[in-house]
Structure formats: C-alpha cells, structure tokens
C-alpha cells in the first residue's frame, strides 16, 4: 500500500535535525512513486498548508525527553503533545498547529505522528551534527518506514512502541522544501 | 478610611512576540503605577555586525526577525547601496517592493487573524475562535500562505530569505513562476476586500486620543521599501537627519531602548502610515477605504486593524501590478564595490519605521552599526495609550476586564519584542 506524505520537521541544530535526517535516509531507499517526502523547519501555518484531509501523512519530529534513550522512536497521539505552547506571529508550536488544523477540519484522516527521542540540550546552535545514537534511530526509522510503504497491507496497521512522554517540537528557523 | 488596592500582574503577555510584562497599580480609583517591562535578553546584533564584511550584513540582519526579515534586509541595503559605485539595475527596486509586499501580506494576515481577532470576537485564542469562525481563520491562513509564496519567489525560502544582496538579487524569478502566482493573487483579491469590510464591521472601541504619527512617504506611491520620513507635526527628514530628532534612551525595567521624537512619544506602523499616506493609495484601495467609513487621519488606535486590512489589499494590488509587468532581466546584477563612509537607510517594516546606520571602513568591513526597530519606537506610545485607555475604560472595572483591555491595547500595536530587545506580564495593584 502506498500514497503517503512524509513530513520531517527539524532544524540545523544538533539532534533537532533528526526529522530532516529521516527524510534524507528515506531518499536512499526505493520508495513507491506516490510517497512524497517533505522537510519543514518548524510547525506553524506552513505545516497547516501541508496537511490535507485526504492525504495520508506521517509527521516526524524530535522529542526532548530523558525517559527514553536518544534515538528511541515511537508513535504519538496529538493529545500526548505538549499543549502549553502559545500562538504568536513567530512562535507556533506543533500541538497548537495540529489542534488548529483539527478545528478547521484539515487534519488528515490518517495521520501518524512519530517522535524520535533526543536528550535535552542536544540541539544547541553549537551542535553541528547529529549524535551517533540519534542518527542510528533515524536510519532505523527510515528503514522501518520504507519497509512499511513496500508492504501490500496498511503500513501502520501494527504500530510499534508506546509514546506519551516529553515535549515534541522543533526550534529551527529555516524553511520547507519538497523533495 | 479603608484603602482599596488592586494589583494586576500579567507575567507573560500572550499573542505577542517575545517576552515582556505589565504592572498596573490602582489605589482608591487612581492609577499610581503603570509599567511596561521588557526583559527578553538584549540580542546585540549591532555588535555582531562589527568587523563583518558589508556584503554579509544582509544575511545577518535577516536573522533579527523571523516575521519581518525583509524589512531588515531592505533597510540595510538602502543604507549600504548608497555607498555603492553603481546603483542596482532598474528592475531591482520593483522586485524589492514585491519582496516587501509578501512580507506585509504574511505578517498582517497572521496578526489580524491569529492574534488580534480573538480579542474582538471574544475568544482567548485563534484555536477556540476557529471552532465558530473557521472560514475567518482559513482566510487568514490562505492570505498568509500567499505572502510566503511571494517571499519564496525572491528569497528562496519564506523565513530568513537569502535571495537579496548588495546590488540586487542573487537570481531573478523564472518567467514560468510568474503566471501561477498571478492567478493565485487574482483569485484571492476578493478575500482581501472581504477582510477590510469584515474588520470595518467589527465593534471596535471608540477611544480617540492625540498622538504624533510618523511614516515614510514617497511622491509616486504608498511608501513601503523607501521614502522620506515625515511626521504629523510637519517634519520632513532624510535618513541622515533621523538622529537629529529621534532619540533613544534606557529605562531601568526594559532591555529595549525607548524612543522619542524631540521628547515626545510617537506612533509608527499601519495607522500612522494610513494617516499620513492615504492619498497615495491606488484608486481601487481608496474605494475600499471610503467604504469602511474611516476618514484619515484617525485618532482611534483601534483603527490600526482596518489599516492593516487595507494594507493587505494594497500589497496584493501592488504585487499583481509588478508581476504583470515583469520581464526576465537580460543580465545578472553586478556586485558593486562600496566606498568607505557612513550610510543610512530606512524602510517601512510591517510594524513601522526601521532605521539603520552603518560605518563602513576602506576594507568594506563594518566598523559600527545602529538599528532602530519599530517596536522599541512604539513603546512610549503604547505606555501613553495604556494610561489613557485604561482611565477611559474605567479603573473600577474588574481585574479580568482591565487585564483584557490592557492586553488588547498592547496587541493592537502588533509588538515584536524580540526585535525590540533590544516585551509582556501584567501586575495590577489597586486600593
């Protein structure tokens, strides 16, 4: 089964880059033609523009937590995201973005959120590369996603792991591109 | 006699950018303290620029703000290109205006729909407002997305765009990029007209007050990317003359500098621009203005909302005009040498006047930089407005109503505290 939009959210800073890294890893796999890969620099209005009711979507972002080791990835539900973030013209976190999209009826019917754990403090501007453990997690997630997309059945019928911790979000300041 | 004291503390003002607070103390019905504090750490961009090559400035200053980077780029370019050996090619000024139109469109659309409208429609956030007004929020998102498309066209990306440089742009848009964007702009024009009528139909507070308006003006068009600085007090100034009349000073509880015009607070931004430049609006936008019933100059600060809506109509009109007349340039922009010297530049950011000054050495490196952003210029006006508005509103109102009105007054200026820190939490005491 195919026909998914995969969106990786990230920034140039250290392990926060992992959303982009998963997309880059996916580009190395032979994917069905109707898998669309997208990188975004931040949640917010631009993300809403990439969410469509009839386009099945996988959304990948870093999760800051100490409850799981860096690189561990897991499916999340919208109500597990940190909703304490505020809306401003500049700051527009993932949880309010998805809630706004949901209120507007624009949330994809099939939306899979996947968080990859990173350690607090590992996404500072001075960190130019991903840590080895987070890069390993990115590769494993990309391989698992590619395998799911290659199967004939619903790729996400059997979910792995169990989320519910930490805060998900990206702090970058660049932009989006379609791959 | 029993003293009645109320203290309101808004420790973190929402739906504004950056971090600041408001303290309000009312003793026996008298306002005894009103303090707007900006505690976001200073950002020291002027210092970062020292020693950098002048050609790097345009990309560094874009990082000051995620919502108005083009304003920072264009003010810097206006300054530095005045030291250039040759002016940019003739097509560049038009495309700089188009670039800027994108920024006004996305910034104003976001402010009106996500930040300001919940105040006027009685919601605490855009998310709760979207449940009852989904089409209103969708309109905001659509207009904002169009603004970002215009920015991408010239800047390569919508946040911290990288397309502009001294002498012009790194690349000109491909001809095939133009028509699809024109179609989307034409299709969205009715949305912009509806928005102006929608904003004019809101029950906005009627709170007339005296204030000085300042804005750039241009003989041929509604000033955006360049112009001469004029004031409602009759001054007409070049960028070089700015420091003779405008002064910045420190306040103990603010990491942003406060500005005054010869000792007086003043307004910069959409309402000031409309007040001073409404005659420069194209006829089709004049018709929209007339239909709102607003007769500039307006002394009601809440008319800023209508001014922003009209400016959205304006920039969509302008963008269509510029794109319709676009010809792919025959040659790339030359990269000019800069002579040593002191240079000045200014432009109208979505929130108001943005003034830059640079001292460039013979090695083309920046020896000194000074940047005066709009929010820091509006701080004294915001505090004067709060003082006036809260007394007019009634200091006997309950704390929640006072807090909400204070936040409305502040959000009405669309403050960007991060840009100014070089902003809000409310503390009210009353007895």
The predicted pLDDT at position B416 comes to 73
- CB-CB under 8 Å, A96 with B16: no
Q: What is the CA radius of gyration of chain B?
A: 21
3-state secondary structure of B131: helix
Highest averaged pLDDT of the listed ranges A63-72, A88-97, B7-16, B29-38 = A63-72
A17 vs A8: CA distance, rounded Å: 9
B215 vs B355: CA distance, rounded Å: 11
**What is the 8-class DSSP label of residue B267?**
B
Q: pLDDT tier at A174 (50, 70, 90 boundaries)?
A: very low
Three-state SS annotation for A25-76: HHHCCCCCCCEEEEEECCCCHHHHHHCCCCCEEEEEEEEECCCCCCCCEEEE
Question: What does pTM read for this prediction?
Answer: 0.86
The predicted pLDDT at position A125 comes to 60
Who's near B267: CB < 8 A, 6+ residues apart?
Answer: B211, B212, B213, B214, B301, B352, B378, B381
The predicted pLDDT at position B418 comes to 54
- CB-CB under 8 Å, B17 with A90: yes
Res. A78: pLDDT tops 60: yes
Which of B61, B114, B154 is the best mutation test for A, with the most CBs of A within 10 A?
Answer: B114
List chain B pLDDT tens, one digit each, 431 residues: 456 676 766 666 555 555 667 888 888 878 888 877 766 556 688 888 999 999 999 999 998 887 899 999 999 999 999 999 899 999 999 999 999 999 999 999 989 998 889 889 988 888 899 999 999 999 999 999 999 999 999 998 877 889 999 999 999 999 999 999 999 999 999 999 999 999 999 999 888 999 999 999 999 999 999 999 999 999 999 999 999 999 988 877 677 778 899 999 999 999 999 999 999 999 999 999 999 999 999 999 999 999 999 999 999 999 999 999 999 999 989 989 999 999 999 999 999 999 999 999 999 999 999 999 898 899 889 989 999 999 999 888 888 888 888 888 888 888 776 554 432 333 445 45
Measure B157 CA to nearest chain A CA, in Å: 6
**What is the 8-class DSSP label of residue B332?**
P
Q: pLDDT for A157-170, tens place per residue?
A: 544 443 333 344 44
Put simply, whether B188 touches A (Cβ < 8 Å) is no
Query: Which residues of chain B neighbour A45 with C-beta distances below 8 Å?
Result: 110, 141, 144-145, 148
Put simply, whether B308 touches A (Cβ < 8 Å) is no
Query: Which residues of chain A neighbour B107 with C-beta distances below 8 Å?
Result: 89
Say which of B17, B131, B159 has its CB closest to residue A173.
B159
Query: Which residues of chain B neighbour A99 with C-beta distances below 8 Å?
Result: 127
Please give the interface size between A and B, counted as residue pairs whose CB atoms are below 8 Å apart.
77
Q: What is the CA radius of gyration of chain A?
A: 15
B107 vs B110: CA distance, rounded Å: 5
Query: Which residues of chain A neighbour B156 with C-beta distances below 8 Å?
Result: 175
- CB-CB under 8 Å, B127 with A103: yes
- Nearest CA to B25 out of B406, B423, B410 is that of B406
Put simply, whether A45 touches B (Cβ < 8 Å) is yes
Put simply, whether A78 touches B (Cβ < 8 Å) is no
Which of A90, A125, A171 is the best mutation test for B, with the most CBs of B within 10 A?
Answer: A90
- CB-CB under 8 Å, B152 with A42: no
Measure A113 CA to nearest chain B CA, in Å: 20
The predicted pLDDT at position A83 comes to 59
Query: In terms of residues, how long is chain A?
Result: 179
Q: Between the CA of residue B250 and those of B255, B257, B260, B351, what are the distances in Å?
A: 8, 5, 11, 21
Res. A124: pLDDT tops 70: no
The chain-wide mean pLDDT, for chain A, equals 79
B320 vs B348: CA distance, rounded Å: 20
Say which of A88, A104, A175 has its CB closest to residue B137.
A104
What number of H helices and E strands is found in chain B? 15, 14
Res. A86: pLDDT tops 60: no
Measure A128 CA to nearest chain B CA, in Å: 18
- CB-CB under 8 Å, A45 with B145: yes
Measure A48 CA to nearest chain B CA, in Å: 8
Query: Which residues of chain B neighbour A78 with C-beta distances below 8 Å?
Result: none
Per DSSP, the residues of B273-329 read HHHHHGGGS-HHHHHHHHHHT--SSP-BGGGHHHHHHHHHHHHHHHHHHHHHT----
Say which of B17, B134, B159 has its CB closest to residue A89.
B17
B63 vs B68: CA distance, rounded Å: 9
- CB-CB under 8 Å, B66 with A173: yes
Q: Residues B353, B225: contact at Cβ < 8 Å? A: no
Measure B196 CA to nearest chain A CA, in Å: 20
- CB-CB under 8 Å, A90 with B67: yes
The predicted pLDDT at position A163 comes to 36
- In a 10 Å sphere around its CB, with 0-12 CB exposed, 13-18 middle and 19+ buried, how is residue A123 labelled? buried
- CB-CB under 8 Å, B63 with A175: no
Put simply, whether B122 touches A (Cβ < 8 Å) is no
Say which of A49, A91, A175 has its CB closest to residue B157.
A175
Measure A137 CA to nearest chain B CA, in Å: 29
Could you tell me which chain B residue has the CA closest to the CA of A42? B159
Q: Residues B269, B378: contact at Cβ < 8 Å? A: yes
Measure B70 CA to nearest chain A CA, in Å: 14
Put simply, whether B132 touches A (Cβ < 8 Å) is no
A6 vs A32: CA distance, rounded Å: 12
Put simply, whether B418 touches A (Cβ < 8 Å) is yes
At A87, give phi and psi (nearest 5°): -95, 130
B396 vs B317: CA distance, rounded Å: 46
The predicted pLDDT at position A136 comes to 96
Query: Per DSSP, what are the bridge partners of residue B164?
Result: B169
At A12, give phi and psi (nearest 5°): -75, 0
The predicted pLDDT at position A165 comes to 36
A22 vs A74: CA distance, rounded Å: 14
E-state strands within B233-334: 236-237, 246-249, 258-261
The predicted pLDDT at position B406 comes to 86
Half-sphere exposure of B275 (CA within 13 A, CB side): 25
């Amino acid at each position: 089964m195919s026909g998914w939009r995969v969106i990786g959210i990230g920034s140039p800073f250290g392990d926060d880059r992992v959303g982009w890294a998963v997309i880059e890893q996916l580009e190395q796999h032979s994917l069905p033609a109707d898998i669309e890969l997208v990188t975004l620099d931040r949640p917010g209005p631009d993300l809403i523009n990439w969410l469509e009711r009839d386009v099945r979507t996988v959304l990948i972002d870093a999760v800051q937590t100490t409850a799981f080791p860096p690189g561990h990835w897991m499916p999340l539900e919208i109500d597990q995201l940190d909703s304490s973030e505020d809306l401003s013209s500049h700051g527009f976190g993932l949880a309010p973005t998805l809630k706004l999209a949901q209120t507007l009826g624009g949330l994809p019917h099939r939306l899979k959120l996947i968080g990859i754990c990173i350690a607090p403090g590992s996404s500072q501007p001075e960190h130019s590369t991903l840590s080895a453990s987070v890069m390993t997690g990115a590769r494993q997630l990309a391989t698992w996603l590619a395998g799911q997309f290659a199967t004939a059945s619903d790729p996400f019928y059997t979910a792995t792991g169990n989320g519910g911790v930490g805060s998900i979000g990206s702090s970058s300041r660049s932009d989006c591109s379609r791959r | 006699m029993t003293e009645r004291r109320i203290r309101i503390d808004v420790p973190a003002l929402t739906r504004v950018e950056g971090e600041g607070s408001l303290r309000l103390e009312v003793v026996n019905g008298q306002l005894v303290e009103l303090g707007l504090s900006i505690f976001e750490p200073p950002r020291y961009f002027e210092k970062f620029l020292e020693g950098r090559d002048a050609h790097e400035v345009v990309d560094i200053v874009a990082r000051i703000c995620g919502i108005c980077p083009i304003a920072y780029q264009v003010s810097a370019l206006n300054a530095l290109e005045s030291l250039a050996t040759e002016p940019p090619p003739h097509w560049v000024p038009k495309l700089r205006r188009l670039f800027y139109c994108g920024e006004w469109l996305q910034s104003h659309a976001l402010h009106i729909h996500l930040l300001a409208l919940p105040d006027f429609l009685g919601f605490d956030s855009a998310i709760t407002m979207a449940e009852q007004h989904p089409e209103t929020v969708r309109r905001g998102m659509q207009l904002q997305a169009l603004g970002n498309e215009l920015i991408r066209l010239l800047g390569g990306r919508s946040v911290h765009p990288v397309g502009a440089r001294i002498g012009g742009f790194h690349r000109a848009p491909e001809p095939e990029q133009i028509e699809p964007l024109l179609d989307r702009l034409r299709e969205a024009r009715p949305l912009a007209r509806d928005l102006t009528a929608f904003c004019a139909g809101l029950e906005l507070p009627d709170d007339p007050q005296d204030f000085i308006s300042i804005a750039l003006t241009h003989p041929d068009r509604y000033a955006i990317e360049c112009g001469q600085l004029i004031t409602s007090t009759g001054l007409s100034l070049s960028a070089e003359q700015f420091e003779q009349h405008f002064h910045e000073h420190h306040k103990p509880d603010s990491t942003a500098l406060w500005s005054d015009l010869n000792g007086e607070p003043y307004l910069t931004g959409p309402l000031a621009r409309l007040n001073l430049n409404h005659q420069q609006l194209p006829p089709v936008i004049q018709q929209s203005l007339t239909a709102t019933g607003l007769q500039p100059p307006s002394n009601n600060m809440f008319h800023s909302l209508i001014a922003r809506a009209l400016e959205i109509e304006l920039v969509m009109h302008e963008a269509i005009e510029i794109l319709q007349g676009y010809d792919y340039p025959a040659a790339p922009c030359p990269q000019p040498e800069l002579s040593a010297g002191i240079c000045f530049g200014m432009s109208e950011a979505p929130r108001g006047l943005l003034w830059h000054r640079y001292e460039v050495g013979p090695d083309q490196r920046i020896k000194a930089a000074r940047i005066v952003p709009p929010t820091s210029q509006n701080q004294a006006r915001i505090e004067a407005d709060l003082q006036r508005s809260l007394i007019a509103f009634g200091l006997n109102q309950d704390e929640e109503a006072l807090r909400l009105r204070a936040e409305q007054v502040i959000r009405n200026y669309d403050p960007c505290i991060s840009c100014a820190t070089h902003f809000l939490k409310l503390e009210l005491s009353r007895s």
